């Protein structure tokens, strides 16, 4: 049981990083990125490919972050003058294209077989010790990411981002370069998502194209929306909640005796209904954004 809980915490921390990244883009900057899993995936695959080539993980992880930052930069450039919802759907399309490349270019990505047998984190340790070390690393990185996202939100840049979210025309009128802001926040968010992806690969010692399905993006979105869009703590809470839910729902099945041919549908149904219940009962998320006055410090 202890190990299982540690595992859930590690996964929460990893997805917490991805959720903080999305929250920075979507919550603070109002950029509805529905291709978040592509940034996560670029980091994950980059780390897998580099460690397979013999690079140690402390070197591969930053490289993965850089690759994902570049990915974020690219989708930021792509959507220069698109309205928010169109840009959102364009990112979904780009993410699917990234997944198709991962699926079809087997010389680089292992194709549908994925890349397995990666030397993971702390190969010297075993069992609970290894899980604890991994958790410490993941939690530390989550903390760093969250603090950085929070600081960014408080800086001048963060205020411009929020202004861009609430009123892009006003932001332009005040002389801010919206495109530059977009690209910058996506590159930063990309690096964070890449970090999450890299950790994910190193922890599970495997990455495959099925991990990049659009459903995974929706999952990260669910974390951010449940936690409360626009709040860093909310993203972390949301990630913990959703991860625990996914890991915990199978236990509900053990508590109530049900025919095992209903196991699959029950699990999916329970997750859907809990997410829906939280959304209906607390539409602003569990940790709503504290409203700041946008014009407190006009530039």
Considering only residues 66 to 85 of the shown chain, the ones binding another protein according to CB under 8 A are 78-79, 81-83, 85
CA distances from 55 to 63, 129, 130 (A): 10, 24, 21
Q: Which of residues 118-147 bind another protein (CB under 8 A)?
A: 126-127
Q: Is 280 in the site for another protein (CB under 8 A)?
A: yes
Residue placing its CB nearer to another protein in the complex, 154 or 265: 265
Contacts of 193 (CB under 8 A, 6+ apart): 17, 18, 21, 22, 36, 39, 40, 43, 68, 72
Binding positions for another protein, 88-117, rule CB under 8 A: 89-90, 92-94, 96-97, 100, 103-104, 106, 111-114, 116-117
Query: What dihedral do alpha carbons 150, 41, 16, 188 form, nearest 10°?
Result: 0
Q: Which stretch binds another protein (CB under 8 A): 48-56, 188-196, 269-277, 291-299?
A: 269-277
User: For residue 256, how far is the Cα from the chain centroid?
Assistant: 33
For another protein, the closer CB: 151 or 282: 282
Reduced to 3 states (helix: H, G, I; strand: E, B; else coil), residue 62 is helix
CB of 297 to another protein, least distance (A): 26
Please say whether the beta carbons of 130 and 138 come within 8 A: no
Nearer to another protein, 148 or 245 (CB): 245
- Smallest distance, another protein to C-beta of residue 24, A: 15
Among 129, 136, 147, 262, binds another protein (CB under 8 A): 262
* 61 C-beta neighbours (distance < 10 Å), count: 25
Q: Which of 9, 20, 24, 26 binds another protein (CB under 8 A)?
A: 26
Report the residue number, 145 or 211, with the smaller CB distance to another protein: 211
The interface with another protein within residues 169-208 (CB under 8 A) comprises 169, 204-206, 208
Q: How far is the CB of 266 from another protein (least distance, A)?
A: 7
Binding-site member from 1, 173, 291, 296 for another protein (CB under 8 A): 1
Looking only at residues 202 through 241 of this chain, which bind another protein when binding is defined by CB under 8 A?
Answer: 204-206, 208-211, 214-215, 218, 221-222, 225-226, 229, 241
Question: Among 252, 255, 78, which residue's Cα sits nearest to residue 182?
Answer: 78
Q: Dump strand ranges (E) for the chain.
A: 115-116, 206-207
Buried b (16+ CB within 10 A) or exposed e, 161-199: bbbbbeebeebeeeebebeebbbbbbbbbbbbbbbbbbb
């Amino acid at each position: 049981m202890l190990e299982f809980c540690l595992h859930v915490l590690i996964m929460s921390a990893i997805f917490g990083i991805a959720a903080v990244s999305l929250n920075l883009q979507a919550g603070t900057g109002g950029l509805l990125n529905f291709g978040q899993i592509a940034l996560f995936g670029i980091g994950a695959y980059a780390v897998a490919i580099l460690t397979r080539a013999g690079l140690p993980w402390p070197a591969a992880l930053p490289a993965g972050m850089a690759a994902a930052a570049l990915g974020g930069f690219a989708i930021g450039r792509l959507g220069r003058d698109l309205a928010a919802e169109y840009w959102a759907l364009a990112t979904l399309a780009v993410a699917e294209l990234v997944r198709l490349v991962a699926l079809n270019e087997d010389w680089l990505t292992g194709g549908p077989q994925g890349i397995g047998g990666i030397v993971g984190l702390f190969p010297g340790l075993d069992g609970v010790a290894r899980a604890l070390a991994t958790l410490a690393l993941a939690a530390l990185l989550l903390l760093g990411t969250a603090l950085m996202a929070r600081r960014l939100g408080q800086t001048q840049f963060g205020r411009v981002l929020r202004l861009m979210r609430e009123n892009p025309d006003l932001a332009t009128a005040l002389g801010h370069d919206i495109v530059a802001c977009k690209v910058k926040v996506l590159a930063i968010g990309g690096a964070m998502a890449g970090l999450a992806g890299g950790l994910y690969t190193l922890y599970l010692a495997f990455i495959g194209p099925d991990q990049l399905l659009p459903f995974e993006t929706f999952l990260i979105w669910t974390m951010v929306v449940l936690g409360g869009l626009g709040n860093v703590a909310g993203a972390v809470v949301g990630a913990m909640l959703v991860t625990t839910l996914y890991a915990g729902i199978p236990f509900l099945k053990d508590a109530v005796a049900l025919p095992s041919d209903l196991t699959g549908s029950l699990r999916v149904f329970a997750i859907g209904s809990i997410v829906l219940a939280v959304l209906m009962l607390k539409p602003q998320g569990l940790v709503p954004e504290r409203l700041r006055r946008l014009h407190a410090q006009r530039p």
